[in-house]
Structure 1
Amino acid sequence: MSRPLVYITGASSGIGQALALRYHQAGYRLALVARRTDEVQAWARGLGIRADTCRIFAADVRDIDAITAAGRACLADQGVPDVVIANAGISVGVDTAIAEDLEVVRRTFETNNLGMCATFQPFISPMRARGTGRLVGIASVAGIRGLPGHGAYCASKAAVISYLESLRGELHGSGVGVVTLLPGYIATPLTASNRYSMPFLMQPEAFAARAFDAIDDGVSYRVIPWQMGVVAKLMRLLPNAVFDRLLVGRERKHRAGE
């Protein structure tokens, strides 16, 4: 119990699993949340992670009762985490002209936005009472500007950035820090089927190493890798007419079932 504790959602693959490994290597106890708990358990066994240093909770972040219950179970069994990382997210292309894609939009916001709020909710009061802790939200460079066929994901990640900024202001002076991380293109199942170029593509382990340092440093906002931070700033500065022309002919994100 003297070792620090990290709580991570979406821990069964990709960024979440890479972050879990990096924190384990740093000596943290793990509280890992996933829908596919069998995969997380197999991963932990394969690395020889002892059961007394790693608890695995089954929850879908879209289910408010389930994800908040997982947070309360972590508090009861392991104590107040030092770091909570709301990482679970989905990325699916949408076409607003197609009626069934409206359900994809709903699912995206329930996962990427409501799920993040529900992940943090059980921990805010205990962290504030203790006077320390870090709440980390995984946003995306895609939240900087909208991309064709990617409206649900881009909008949800833009909302993540604004939400975390609001939360940072609410917790200012409490000792609880809020960290916004914006990955660029990371080689995960979410990007595996992308049919467009992905500049500065990173492996999840490389992202996790840089994310760990950013969280440990207590930064409020960081784009990883830094090159995508430059790209993001340039994208934001471009006039709409120029930005729109740059996207002409760009391949769209796959829709569900494609």
Structure 2
Amino acid sequence: MAELRAASKAPLVYITGASSGIGQAMAWHYYQQGWSLALVARRTQVMEQWAQALQLDAQRYAVYEADVTSIDSACNAARACIERQSLPDVVIANAGISWGVDTSRREDLDAMQQVLASNTMGLAASFQAFIAPMSARGSGRLVGICSVAGIRGLPGHAAYCASKAGAIAYCESLRIELQNTGVAVVSLLPGYVDTPLTQNNPYAMPFLLSADEFARRAYRAIERKARYAIIPWQMAIAGRLMRGLPGFVWDRLVAGRTRKPRHLGKG
């Protein structure tokens, strides 16, 4: 294990949810910029196949299995990375799920619990093992992939909106806690990005970005240690308007909007 740590002097980025979508796109962009990768997801075989298909240098990446809905699983993967590859320079907590729910149905509360476990608790658990050693070192960036959906509620999105609102608030609290430590906490709020999470949405998705384009813009935001960045800029304008609208105006705007379909199916 020490051999891999010593073999590459490139900066290291740790990315959860790296087997597809935004996580995979960000991993590829960081690799192209000369970084080493710690790739984290449940589907380790998918990540290995992806790395081999792109002929990644075996000395510049490692794969870790983790299910971020399990706190111990997420924390153990982080500790394994520190042991095997050293303390990362950047940690990107990206793993998440987007499930539609109808909370008038008892069974959908279980689905909502899973979304919160992944998108909110999973984000915090992905950071946990890195906070103290980064603070002791006096440098590092902890990046939470949040969402514009965390700004206001949307029909059918109760679980996702609640989970991302929680992620935004958590990142802000952590940023304040880590002031003067040298550790930056970055909240990234994507708008619509073309990934498996959005491809079945039955409604219009304005300002849709490819995952690769999002990765390029996110990389720039992380490099400048942005505290809070909505991507793309058009959605940033919309996000500011969303936050400022009175509740009754927002209610009218989204009245009649197509609901996100239930994860558990029709009926």
Whole-Å separation in 1 of the counterparts to 2:243 and 2:172 = 18
Equivalent residue letter for 1:3:
A
Alpha-carbon distance between aligned partners in 2 of 1:55 and 1:21, rounded to the nearest angstrom: 13
Q: Unpaired runs of 5+ in structure 2?
A: 1-7
Please give the residue correspondences for 1:217-236 in structure 2 after superposition, counting only pairs within 5 Å.
Answer: 217-236=224-243
Choose the corresponding residue for 2:14, options 2, 7, 10: 7
- Matches of 1:160 and 1:248 in 2, distance apart? 26
Tell me the equivalent position of 1:34: 41
Deviation at residue 17 of structure 1 after TM alignment: 0.2
Structure 1 consecutive aligned stretches of length 4 or more whose deviation exceeds 2 Å: none
Match of 2:195 in 1: 188
Moved more, 188-197 or 240-249: 240-249
Shift of 1:48: 0.5
- Taking the aligned partners of 1:254 and 1:12, their CA distance within structure 2 comes to 24
- Residue by residue over 1:144-184, the C-alpha shift from the partner in whole angstroms, topping out at 9 and shown as x without a partner, is 10001101100110111110000000100000000000000
How far 1:220 moved relative to its partner?
0.7
What is the alpha-carbon distance in structure 1 between the residues aligned to residue 92 and residue 261 of structure 2? 27
Of the structure 1 ranges 15-24 and 238-247, higher mean CA displacement relative to structure 2 is found in: 238-247
| Cα displacement (A) at 1:86 | 0.2
The whole-number CA distance in structure 2 between the counterparts of 1:161 and 1:226 is 18
Partner-residue secondary structure (3-state), 1:32: strand
Which amino acid counterpart does residue 102 of structure 1 have in structure 2? L
| Secondary structure of 1:149's aligned partner | coil
Q: Does 1:82 align with 2:89?
A: yes
Q: Report 1:206-245 matches (<5 A).
A: 206-245=213-252
- Could you say what secondary structure the match of 1:100 adopts? helix
Instruction: Deviation per CA, 1:171-209: give whole Å up to 9, x if none.
Output: 000000000000000000110110111000000000000
Q: How many residues align?
A: 258
* 1:59-98 superposed Cα distances (whole Å, 9 cap, x missing partner): 1001111111111110011001000000000000111101
| Mapped partners of 1:237, 1:171: distance in 2 | 28
Structure 1 residues not aligned, in runs of 5+: none
SS at match of 1:21: helix
Q: What is the RMSD of the two structures over their aligned residues, measured on CA atoms?
A: 0.8
What is the SS of the residue equivalent to 2:238? helix
Residue in structure 1 matching 2:157, options 143, 150, 157? 150
TM-superposed deviation, 1:238: 1.8
Q: TM-score, normalised by structure 2?
A: 0.95
Give yes or no for contact 2:17–2:41 (8 Å, CA) kept in 1. yes
CA distance in 2: counterparts of 1:191 and 1:208, whole angstroms: 16
Percentage of identical aligned residues: 57
Contact 2:108 2:264 in 1 (8 A): no
Q: Tell me which of 101, 104, 109 is aligned to 1:102.
A: 109
Counterpart Cα distance in 2 of 1:252 and 1:220: 31
| CA distance in structure 1 between the partners assigned to 2:106 and 2:138 by the alignment | 47
Mapped pair 1:62 → 2:69: yes
Residue 168 (1) aligns with residue 175 (2): yes
**Structure 1: which amino acid aligns with 2:144?**
G
8 Å Cα contact 2:155-2:259 kept in structure 1: yes
